Amino acid sequence: MKMIRNTIAVIAGLFVALAIITFSVMINSYWIPFDYKGLPIEHWRSVVRTAKVEFFIALLISSGIASLMGGIVCALIVKTAKKAYAMLIGFILLIAAIATIFTFKGYPTWYIVCMFFIFFPFSWLGAQLVEWLQNKKNKKVNLQR
């Protein structure tokens, strides 16, 4: 039962993170126009090649927020090893980002370097935040007894 709960936690955290990243990329119709026919992933190659610096900054910010939220969701569901499972989400997101770099050429070098410092720390921070809040709540409950 514990393994199923942990698996669901990782899947839920990944779903939240990927949804945030996808929504944040599609929110600006300049990057992926809504009148584009076909899948947005088909348009991604030209987006990466022609994107300005602001796009990659927005992508890094949304990746950080997504990793943080994915880590929070995962840590809320699992019972133990919250940071480890949250960092697993950061690792999976990093592998996915590396795969997109190899698939779609044109990412700036500074973006590639920065993403290594985004996924792990922010997913860990999400789990750390949940642990801190839960410890604070437990101390408050123990003081009231």
The predicted pLDDT at position 38 comes to: 63
The predicted pLDDT at position 123 comes to: 93
The predicted pLDDT at position 48 comes to: 80
Residues in the chain: 145
Structural domain boundaries enclosing 27: 2-144
Beta strands in 47-118 (DSSP E): none
The predicted pLDDT at position 37 comes to: 65
Q: pLDDT tens digits for the chain (145 residues)?
A: 889 999 999 999 999 999 999 888 877 766 665 565 666 666 777 778 877 888 889 889 999 999 999 999 999 999 888 899 999 999 999 999 999 899 888 889 999 999 999 998 999 999 999 999 988 888 877 777 6
**Distance from C-alpha of 119 to C-alpha of 60, rounded to nearest angstrom:** 9
Chain-centroid distance of CA 119 in Å reads 7
Instruction: Report pLDDT digits (tens) over 87-129.
Output: 999 999 999 999 989 988 888 999 999 999 999 899 999 999 9
Q: Which backbone phi and psi does 62 adopt, to 5 degrees?
A: -65, -35
Counting the structural domains of the chain, the total is: 1
**Distance from C-alpha of 27 to C-alpha of 30, rounded to nearest angstrom:** 9
